[in-house]
Amino acid sequence: MDFQAFYAGRSFDAYEYLGCHLLPETAGAVFRVFAPAAQAIDVIGEFNDWAGTPMERIYDGNFWEVAVPEAREGQLYKYRIRRPDGLAVDHADPFAFGSELPPGTASAIRRLDLYAFADSAWLASRTDRRSKPLNIYEVHAGSWRRRRDGAPLSWHELATELVPYAQAQGFTHIELLPVAEHPVDESWGYQITGFYSPTSRYGTAADFQAFVDACHRGGIGVIVDFVPVHFALDSYGLSDFDGTALYEYPHTDVGHSEWGSRNFMHSRGEVRSFLQSNARFWLEEFHVDGLRVDAVSNLIYWQGDAARGENADALAFLRTMNAGLKERYPSAMLIAEDSSPFRGVTGPASEGGLGFDYKWDLGWMHDTLAFLATPARERPAAYHKLTFAMMYRYDERYVLPFSHDEVVHGKGTIVGRMNGEYEEQFAQARALYMYMYALPGKKLTFMGNEFGQLREWSEAREQDWEVLRYPMHDAFHRFTRDLSKIYAAVPALSERDFSRDGFAWIDCVSENRLVYAFGRTDGATTLVAFFNFSRAGQRFVLTRNMLRELAEAAGAGFAQAPERGVKSSTRLELLLASDRDIYNGTNQYSDGQEIAMPGTACAVPLAPFSAKYFLLHE
């Protein structure tokens, strides 16, 4: 490790030096820890009956080291740190690659080279998906499914069950809520004590490597949530690590977070090196395909409050980290969970942006769900909640998320938030998802949403898979699967997500009818989508002039270039209808059903609370 780079906040490899590293053959292990204010440190563990082996100061006196010949893979250990005030406190290793199963709090000696990956072809062909479908299935590993005894599945069991499920449902990626070690399930992994330790709840580091490899062999990418804002305040973790505020701010007004945890002090180079090395750790050692960075607005602004101003040190950290990661892993995705108005989140760090590939569009999510929670008779006044997002769509590269945050804390579930009676809720949810998948932007949905779960998510139990015995949920499950497969199969729905010539409105001014229509194109294929969010049936009259305007608005990429006009053979081929009987709707359609336009117009019938996709043919 370059010590000066570590102090300056430029290190991306701190974990290769610090922590516990097994020596060749049976020579034991070497332990290293950064603790400048410590008066003395012993490493205690199963290899010395927890009696303690003194560590020696090395380099400039801020680092400590000891070799323990008796140390072996899997053994538990801690650092007993004597603080400046004379108290001795036992801490887990900040750089440990394994942890004791909670409620135990010790670190575990783990190798990172026990598993041999077989995903070289995947990594060689991997991209950041900017012009490809990106359909993310957000998962909490401990509550997706559970064993009969209520215990969470292991990484091996998840590889056996979750990977084929994601394939069947048409997802391209699985996004995991934080998998780093955390003390209590109720934090969902967002309050961390072991940043370099995959949680022992589901297995070892090697087990997690095998899970990621299984995903790749199944054609599924893996994104993990990364938490660089705050950490758990448990006494055995990073808090007051050497008797001083080594990782956190020393002042409570900025040192304590809104989640009851401690905020990282990003003005310290050592903290920045700790975090960006941790980001590289997941990409390098586990071959994950992306990081979803949590609570980015709390890095942009002090305590996430724009009124308190920008946090210059945290912004510098983000730019350095993202630029360094993209230089090392150009095909990996960096995704910001950010609700702030800060401009340039997905702009290049070299040009003053933050260097992310994508940003969650939380404004779109809030507006869309608010619109559909409104009674149908009141929706005309709220009509433009659905159109507003297109006003800023090309300012950043967006992911459209229906995440875990929308199905907890009394919010209900996605289907449950639709206004109306039971069957109307499902009809609207089908139209909602078609609206989401047709808009420019990548897609994310939380587990359970895909089959219309009606119970709020709890980390303490598995999803309500038994509801698939009921026709409404089973049909919704089939619908979301078919929707995902159409999204993957039609390049017009993803190739020009971030280009203005890939989208154009046909109708976004029918406030009283609550009808919307627009087109998507990749330059070769045109898809036209229609939506009716009213309780009344509608007939949308599509005219040749609308198609000409569509071509003009989106450029010559649309099939009907304005100078060529619209041919008399123009027809619409039905791809998907949310009111189809197989989805528990009220209408029957034949596959490939067409609507011809022999004259100047054709009528597209729209059932109440429904949507349709058509391919446009000349």
Tens-digit pLDDT profile for residues 506-521: 999 999 999 999 999 9
**Is 16's pLDDT higher than 90?**
yes
Residue type, 360: W
Residue 103: asked if its preceding bond is cis (omega within 30°), the reply is: yes
Residue 232 structure tokens: 């758990």
Catalytic residue among 138, 294, 367, 450: 294
Query: Residue 567's pLDDT is what?
Result: 56
Chain segment 93-110, per-residue pLDDT in tens: 999 999 999 999 999 999
Query: Residue 172's pLDDT is what?
Result: 98
**Is 563's pLDDT higher than 50?**
no
> In the predicted model, what is the mean pLDDT of residues 299-310?
92
Residue 96 structure tokens: 């440990």
**Is 537's pLDDT higher than 60?**
yes
> In the predicted model, what is the mean pLDDT of residues 451-466?
97
Last residue of a domain, one of 360, 393, 424: 360
**What is the band of 568 on the pLDDT scale with cuts at 50, 70, 90?**
low
**What is the band of 552 on the pLDDT scale with cuts at 50, 70, 90?**
confident
Query: Residue 592's pLDDT is what?
Result: 85
Q: Of all helices (H) and strands (E), which one includes residue 22? A: strand 19-22
Asked if 306 and 340 touch (Cβ cutoff 8 Å), the reply is: yes
User: Is 323 a domain residue?
Assistant: yes
> In the predicted model, what is the mean pLDDT of residues 481-503?
96
> In the predicted model, what is the mean pLDDT of residues 200-217?
98
- The total domain count for the chain is 2
CATH number at residue 221: 3.20.20.80
The residues near 590 (Cβ < 8 Å, ≥ 6 apart) are none
Q: Which of 170, 34, 201 is nearest to 478 (CA)?
A: 170
3-class DSSP state for residue 594?
strand
Last residue of a domain, one of 360, 375, 394: 360
181 part of the active site: no
Task: Tell me the HSE value of 463 on the side-chain side, using a 13 A CA sphere.
Answer: 23
Mean residue pLDDT of the chain comes to: 95
Query: Residue 256's pLDDT is what?
Result: 83
Asked if 440 and 503 touch (Cβ cutoff 8 Å), the reply is: yes
Asked if 368 and 346 touch (Cβ cutoff 8 Å), the reply is: no
> In the predicted model, what is the mean pLDDT of residues 133-148?
98
Last residue of a domain, one of 339, 360, 381: 360
User: Is 560 a domain residue?
Assistant: yes
Specify the long-range contacts of residues 117-124, CB closer than 8 Å, at least 24 apart.
117/209, 117/213, 117/287, 118/213, 118/217, 119/212, 119/213, 119/216, 119/217, 119/287, 122/216, 122/217, 123/216, 123/287, 123/331
Q: How far apart are CA 207 and CA 202, in angstroms?
A: 8
This prediction has a pTM of 0.96
Q: How far apart are CA 112 and CA 212, in angstroms?
A: 14
User: Is 463 a domain residue?
Assistant: no
**What is the band of 67 on the pLDDT scale with cuts at 50, 70, 90?**
very high
Q: How far apart are CA 236 and CA 418, in angstroms?
A: 45
Please, where are the H alpha helices in 126-171? 155-169
User: Is 464 a domain residue?
Assistant: no
User: Is 416 a domain residue?
Assistant: no
Query: Residue 180's pLDDT is what?
Result: 98
Chain segment 589-616, per-residue pLDDT in tens: 988 899 998 888 999 999 999 999 999 9
The residues near 526 (Cβ < 8 Å, ≥ 6 apart) are 492, 519, 520, 558, 559, 560, 615, 616
Query: Residue 564's pLDDT is what?
Result: 44
Higher model confidence: residue 211 or residue 561? Answer: 211
Query: Residue 361's pLDDT is what?
Result: 98
Q: How far apart are CA 226 and CA 95, in angstroms?
A: 15
> In the predicted model, what is the mean pLDDT of residues 545-568?
62
Residue type, 430: R
How far, in whole angstroms, is CA 82 from its chain's centroid?
Answer: 40
CATH number at residue 575: 2.60.40.1180
Angle at 398 between CA 393 and CA 401, to 5 degrees: 115
Q: How far apart are CA 334 and CA 312, in angstroms?
A: 20
User: Is 380 a domain residue?
Assistant: no
Q: Tell me which range, 251-255, 304-308, 417-421, is most confidently predicted by mean pLDDT.
A: 417-421
Query: Residue 26's pLDDT is what?
Result: 83
Percent of the chain at pLDDT above 90? 91
User: Is 184 a domain residue?
Assistant: yes
Cβ–Cβ contacts within 10 Å for residue 420, how many? 17
How far, in whole angstroms, is CA 483 from its chain's centroid?
Answer: 20
**What is the band of 553 on the pLDDT scale with cuts at 50, 70, 90?**
low
Catalytic residue among 42, 128, 337, 357: 337
> In the predicted model, what is the mean pLDDT of residues 523-528?
91
DSSP type of residue 125: H
Host domain of residue 159: 1-360
Residue 432 structure tokens: 């909602």
**Is 559's pLDDT higher than 90?**
no
**Is 293's pLDDT higher than 70?**
yes
> In the predicted model, what is the mean pLDDT of residues 417-437?
97
**What is the band of 365 on the pLDDT scale with cuts at 50, 70, 90?**
very high
**What is the band of 560 on the pLDDT scale with cuts at 50, 70, 90?**
very low
Please, where are the H alpha helices in 107-260? 120-125, 155-169, 205-217, 252-255
**What is the band of 160 on the pLDDT scale with cuts at 50, 70, 90?**
very high
Residue 218 structure tokens: 């199944």
Q: How far apart are CA 580 and CA 590, in angstroms?
A: 10
405 part of the active site: no
Chain segment 168-184, per-residue pLDDT in tens: 999 999 999 999 999 99
Q: How far apart are CA 470 and CA 468, in angstroms?
A: 5
Q: Which of 131, 128, 129 is nearest to 501 (CA)?
A: 131
User: Is 400 a domain residue?
Assistant: no
Asked if 456 and 408 touch (Cβ cutoff 8 Å), the reply is: yes
Query: Residue 582's pLDDT is what?
Result: 97
